[in-house]
Amino acid sequence: MSRPSSFVPTPDQDVLDIKPLRTLSPMFPAPLGVNTFNQPSSPGTPPMVFVTTAGQFPGLRSFSAFGAQDAAGGRPASSNAQATGFGGQSAVYGGKTAANGTSNAGASADVPIDATPISVCKPTPPPTNAGASAGTPIYATPLAAYKPKTPNVIQLDDDDDDNDDDDYAVNQTSASGRAIKRPYRLSGYRTSGGLGSDSNSGVKIKRHKSSNRMAGTDHEFTLEPHSSSDPREVVEEVLMTFEALRRRHLQLDEAQETGKRADLKASAIMNAKNLRANAGRRIGGVPGVEIGDIFYFRMELSIIGLHAPSMAGIDYMTATFGDRDDDSVAICIVAAGVYENDDDATDTLVYSGSGGNNRNNEDMHDQKLERGNLALERSLSRKNVIRVVRGYKDPGCLAGKIYMYDGLYKIHESWKERTRAGINCFKYKLVREPGQPEGFAIWKMSRKWVANPDTRGNVLHPDLSSGAEYLPVCLVNDVNSEKGPGLFTYISEVKYLKPLSSLKPLQGCRCVSACLPTDSTCGCSQCNGGNLPYSSTGLLVCRKPMIYECGESCLCSVNCRNRVTQKGAKIHFEVFRTENRGWGLRSWDPIRAGSFICEYVGEVIDDEKFSLDDSKDDYLFQTVCPGRKTLKWNYGPELIGEQSANVSPDTFEPLPIKISAKKMGNISRFMNHSCAPNAFWQPVQFDHGDDGHPHIMFFALKHIPPMTELTYDYGEIGADSSGIGSPRAKSCLCGSSNCRGYFC
């Protein structure tokens, strides 16, 4: 993950200060790097010229707004979050906790009226268990007597006084890890070799014989020789591969109007090839997974070892505590978030046990103290930490649910509650362990800002673009007293040297209304290698030397799905003062991998007149070969037997285009470099056919949580010889584990 540059933790800083999510990662020290991206701006001078698309704006309105904000602001830096008032100790009891639990709606901050501590609940006496069928509930068994026979026995230090994670270092002694052999049936997609067999009846993939999957320690996962030993890298690689596979499957499915659940297909392949991280179970944090990480599928949680079950909300394991009996303890829960209201409590959570509410209202029955519920109950007495993943259904968001890892919690109490439907339901109150970086709290906060930008503190200007962008671009400084970046003119479109009309036109398609993935005759689809380059939700499927969107010469409408980047960015950006890298760009919205972020806007520089002076331009964009991570974004086709679409540094061919955003540009001029970036550039054509001078569009390399700095790999000039000697080379201290040390 890119190291957001803006945070050097200091003792006096408020924990709730608005900071990027990742900065407190224990794995990486705070970045020390400084680059010279932003011109220094003296406090007295107007910081910039605000310009609309129509032309240069006199700036009167802007400047006065600027001053007003400034005066009104006047808050000390790094103290803006308190006003939002989350993190309180408010209890989450009552109405919210149970969609079905109306009886408690009025019970405020106290144990619900009809709540009974589970310890008081007397389980019904065990049925004569001799001939107990498989379905016999264990509910009846007294806890102490309950001794699961699962072979996955893991020993723990029997020492639960301390909060330290190390206490839960897991020694896997006997871990047979019996793999369930089950053919993975991938119906409805065709492979062109590789794993393929019998595409009519679906492809069967045998799961890897994984005798060593549970053995040893963490990372037997290797994708390829380059693969990192850094757990963070491994996790990101797994997720990137999953996403690449999923997008490609989606594309194939759409083309054939068949199949669904590309997420399941992708994970089937991942599992078949044993491409997963952190196999096995553990109490406490998962290596390479950081608080604030976001996910879009339950499968993603599963393949990185964060939460193994693909559907169930409670992940648990059997462990041996010292010389005591084996015990099942909960290790991770996914709080679905369907009962989410305006509850501001971000450090407590009331979780409902599982079971009982069968579909169709038939067969409703009391929840039983077994499996996950039992594990939670045992975790209450064991006091072990439990990972919490918060699910959040954004009403305004078309995509389904987003999951965010919110760190470690402990169960503080449990009780039984009668739901509206009349069944007994277990409730568990979880409290977030102190001292962890904020996760869900930042999420909630940024949602609030999106709903009402006025609630964002430390604002220097409400819209840097003065309306030129689809959404306002907030300028903020949580760090120091600097008033803004150096002077520049905000424009929203690239300034070409020649009028577009004089450029070679782009060939269009003759699709009526909209280009369809099933239509192989679509000219634009053919230009893109036979498929539409974007998914139906607008995600880029694959990184390519060039993407051709539909344009003016096409007959299709503006609603055609092959028009994505030309419509502009639709993200709530903010330009913010980083701690040590000048100004940077980040987003209030979560950004899903493959999403369009923004275009590199500036003045196209004439290749012939390119001078030494220009080469010192810090805002010059050139198509320099980026690092491995960016090049590998497509990794996935190889896994399903397709030809690799990847470009290697050897075959990379730069384009002649050079864009300078020094004097005029847009938000993308604030994107800093990182050797572990979360965005990449992609050439796109839609309004002209000069392939040497395409639009440079940025897409998300991975899921980007809100408030994480957006970065891309500036690349290295003369990678083969000496990038360091290059006139533009700057030393890089992005802080990532694979930092190259310099960039251009």
> Which residues contact DNA by CB under 7 A?
132-135, 138, 148-152, 176, 178, 180-182, 184-185, 187, 260-264, 267-268, 271, 297-299, 302-303, 308-313, 317-318, 328, 334, 336, 354-360, 371-372, 400-401
Cβ proximity to DNA: between 298 and 572 the closer is 298
Q: Which two tokens stand for residue 375?
A: 């594990």
3-state SS of 322-390 is CCCCEEEEEEEEEECCCCCCCCCCCCEEEEECCCCCCHHHCCCCCCCCCHHHHHHHHHHHHCCCEEEEE
CB 138 within 8 Å of CB 146:
yes
Nearest distance from C-beta of residue 179 to DNA, angstroms: 7
Cβ proximity to DNA: between 82 and 256 the closer is 256
Cβ proximity to DNA: between 354 and 678 the closer is 354
Nearest distance from C-beta of residue 149 to DNA, angstroms: 6
Cβ proximity to DNA: between 262 and 541 the closer is 262
Rg of the chain taking only CA atoms, in angstroms: 27
700, β-bridge pairs: 679
Nearest distance from C-beta of residue 196 to DNA, angstroms: 17
Nearest distance from C-beta of residue 182 to DNA, angstroms: 6
Nearest distance from C-beta of residue 27 to DNA, angstroms: 25
Which residue is associated with the tokens 């799961």? 207
Cβ proximity to DNA: between 148 and 665 the closer is 148
Nearest distance from C-beta of residue 245 to DNA, angstroms: 13
CB 254 within 8 Å of CB 536:
yes
Cβ proximity to DNA: between 133 and 501 the closer is 133
CB 723 within 8 Å of CB 739:
no
Nearest distance from C-beta of residue 581 to DNA, angstroms: 35
Closest CA to 353 of 455, 268, 264, 424: 424
> Measured between alpha carbons, how far is 344 from 335 in angstroms, rounded to an integer?
15
Nearest distance from C-beta of residue 469 to DNA, angstroms: 29
Nearest distance from C-beta of residue 599 to DNA, angstroms: 28
Nearest distance from C-beta of residue 582 to DNA, angstroms: 38
Cβ proximity to DNA: between 356 and 637 the closer is 356
Cβ proximity to DNA: between 293 and 713 the closer is 293
CB 483 within 8 Å of CB 460:
yes
Cβ proximity to DNA: between 295 and 409 the closer is 295
- Report the SS3 class of residue 483: coil
Name the DSSP letter for residue 669. G
Nearest distance from C-beta of residue 556 to DNA, angstroms: 23
> Measured between alpha carbons, how far is 600 from 699 in angstroms, rounded to an integer?
11
Cβ proximity to DNA: between 414 and 674 the closer is 414
> Measured between alpha carbons, how far is 174 from 317 in angstroms, rounded to an integer?
13
CB 590 within 8 Å of CB 705:
yes
Backbone angles phi, psi at 669, to 5 degrees: -70, -15
70 burial (CB, 10 Å; 0-12 / 13-18 / 19+) is middle
Cβ proximity to DNA: between 363 and 608 the closer is 363
CB 147 within 8 Å of CB 326:
yes
Cβ proximity to DNA: between 142 and 741 the closer is 142
Cβ proximity to DNA: between 327 and 709 the closer is 327
Cβ proximity to DNA: between 262 and 522 the closer is 262
Nearest distance from C-beta of residue 633 to DNA, angstroms: 20
> Measured between alpha carbons, how far is 467 from 225 in angstroms, rounded to an integer?
48
CB 239 within 8 Å of CB 592:
no
Q: How many CB atoms lie within 10 A of CB 467?
A: 15
Nearest distance from C-beta of residue 302 to DNA, angstroms: 5
Q: What is the DSSP string of 178-194?
A: PPPP--EEETT---SST
> Measured between alpha carbons, how far is 246 from 269 in angstroms, rounded to an integer?
10
CA atoms within 13 A on the CB side of 701: 26
Cβ proximity to DNA: between 391 and 485 the closer is 391
Nearest distance from C-beta of residue 375 to DNA, angstroms: 9
Q: How many CB atoms lie within 10 A of CB 318?
A: 19
Q: What is the DSSP string of 125-185?
A: PPP--TT--TT--GGGS-GGG-----S-EEEE-S--S---GGGG--EEEE---PPPP--EE
Nearest distance from C-beta of residue 76 to DNA, angstroms: 41
Nearest distance from C-beta of residue 282 to DNA, angstroms: 12
For residues 217, 220, 225 and 227, what is the CA-based torsion angle, rounded to 10 degrees? -70
What is the rounded end-to-end Cα distance, in angstroms, of the chain? Answer: 20
Backbone angles phi, psi at 359, to 5 degrees: -70, 165
